[in-house]
Amino acid sequence: MNLALFISRRIYRDTSGGKHVSRPAVLIAMIGIAIGLAVMIISVAVVIGFKSEVRNKVIGFGSHIQISNFDAVRSYETRPVVVNDSMMAALSDYPDVKHVQRYSTKPGMIKTNDAFQGMVLKGVGPEFDTSFFRDYLVEGKIPAFSDSASTNQVLISKSLATKLKLKLGDKIYTYFIQDNVRARRLTIKGIYQTNFSEYDNLFLLTDICMVNRLNGWQPKQVSGVELQVKDYNKLEDTTYKIAADTDKKVDSLGGVYYVRNIEQLNPQIFAWLGLLNLNVWVILILMIGVAGFTMISGLLIIILERTNMIGILKALGADNYTIRKVFLWLSVFLIGKGMFWGNLIGLAFYFIQSQFGLFKLDPETYYVDTVPVSFNIWLFLLINVGTLIISILMLLGPSYLITKINPATSMRYE
């Protein structure tokens, strides 16, 4: 067996002996490692979970990629483009595209007896993917969307319903201004709640047939088409490929196609989410620094306490490299024990929060009502391996103190 490893194990397992100066320092070092690792695991889990939750909500309202009219950029009063069956089939043929759906929008206003609220009526067709709204449906059901007949049914958010004192099954009057004022009476078929107030307070979902009639468009004209991609990591490449084939081309009625992805449509939100990565890096650096420096202090105290043993090992012929390995192996055992407890604390927090949602947030500020967490096995392993390697590298310098110990004087050291 390796001599340095054997000696370090004996020291680590030794619970007897007259000197106990190092025990409090070692305990503090292990606690520092445990707390640092737990905070890193929790921070990464929360940030990844939060980014994923917010991103999924933005995508749920607008899909991954949108193709609309170039003249309607940054305006809810959209200009139409022609989207026929052949174009839908062509877009579906892209290998990275999972789903294609049409949409049309019309800005207007809801008016009740004692309140009114601006909104955007979004019409969708029978091919619309309702899975996002099904996940957040709190009352009623999702209307049957049609592109040939209007049911006058809408899906409304809970925040709008609360603000306007509306409930499931109520009739609401909506008004739309173009050349003249046009009114529609709609029935609330379902109520959803995503807590994403920026969109909850804005969109009502109905069938595309009604919206197209309000806009006075031809049957094949829509505000645009939404595309879902199979792999979000390939969003930029997929957007570029579709834009190369579609961007700036003119349809049969004079509309100009314009391709943008969800990050280009919502730059402020995604820039804000990107800043969260900086917060994680700051936390990781600080926690690794705290854990490393507490371990350094613990190792120095252990070396000073074991000066007599170091002198004896040198007198018996052990070189500085072997003795340094003894204390580095001992540090690995101590770091490993601290990491065990750190992992236990971090994973326990993840499990409890993911299952029971104990820690709450204000949805008006954070877009979610509980602290979201997400577990990534590769990041988890990277944090553990990185903590171990960096902590050991930080101990290489302090272990050099062993080379300065003289055998003749150290064996008389008390």
Q: Do 96 and 165 belong to one domain?
A: yes
Q: Is position 66 within any domain?
A: no
User: Do 89 and 47 fall within a single domain?
Assistant: no
Q: Give the residue with greater pLDDT, 406 vs 384.
A: 384
Do 119 and 37 share a structural domain?
Answer: no
Handedness of CA 238, 241, 244, 245 (dihedral sign): negative
pLDDT, tens digit, 9 for 90 and up, residues 66-96: 999 887 765 556 789 999 989 999 999 999 9
Do 297 and 393 belong to one domain?
Answer: yes
The domain boundary, picked from 222, 254, 286, lies at: 254
Domain count, the chain: 2
Q: Which pLDDT value is given to residue 296? A: 85
In a domain, 342, yes or no: yes
Distance of alpha carbon 369 from alpha carbon 359, whole angstroms: 9
Residue with tokens 């054997």: 6
Please state, in angstroms and rounded to a whole number, the distance separating the CA atoms of residues 130 and 137.
10
Alpha-carbon dihedral angle through residues 90, 95, 96, 99, given to the nearest 10 degrees: 50
The owner of tokens 């995503």 is 194
Residue 70 lies in a domain: no
Confirm if 405 and 311 have CB atoms less than 8 A apart: yes
In a domain, 391, yes or no: yes
Among 254, 283, 300, identify where a domain stops: 254
- This prediction's pTM: 0.81
Residue 74 counted as domain residue: no
User: Closest Cα to residue 155, out of 207, 113, 224, 197?
Assistant: 207
Domain membership of residue 35 (yes or no) is yes
Q: What is the pLDDT of residues 113-146, one digit of tens each?
A: 888 888 999 999 999 999 999 999 999 999 988 8
* Claim to verify: residue 153 and residue 288 sit in the same structural domain: no
- Is residue 159 assigned to a domain? yes
If asked whether residues 159 and 285 sit together in one domain, one would say no
Domain boundary among 191, 223, 254: 254
Note down the domain range covering 291: 3-57+269-410
Q: Rounded to 5 degrees, what angle do the CA atoms 120, 270, 72 make?
A: 40
Which DSSP letter does residue 72 get? G
- Whole-angstrom distance, CA of residue 311 vs CA of residue 334: 23
Q: How far apart are alpha carbons 79 and 323 in whole angstroms? A: 77
User: Which tokens go with 299?
Assistant: 């190792």
Residues 53 and 85 in one domain: no
Dihedral class, residue 19 (left if φ above 0, else alpha if ψ from -120 to 50, else beta): beta
Q: What is the pLDDT of residue 409?
A: 63
Do 348 and 208 share a structural domain?
Answer: no
Full DSSP string of 277-307: HHHHHHHHHHHHHHHHHHHHHHHHHHHHHTH
Query: Are 182 and 323 part of one and the same domain?
Result: no
Do residues 247 and 122 share a domain?
Answer: yes
| 93 plus 175 within the same structural domain | yes
pLDDT of residue 18: 45
For the stretch 248-307, pLDDT in tens is 888 888 889 999 999 998 899 889 888 888 888 888 888 888 888 888 888 888 777 777
As a whole number of angstroms, the distance between CA 198 and CA 159 comes to 11
Are 135 and 241 part of one and the same domain?
Answer: yes
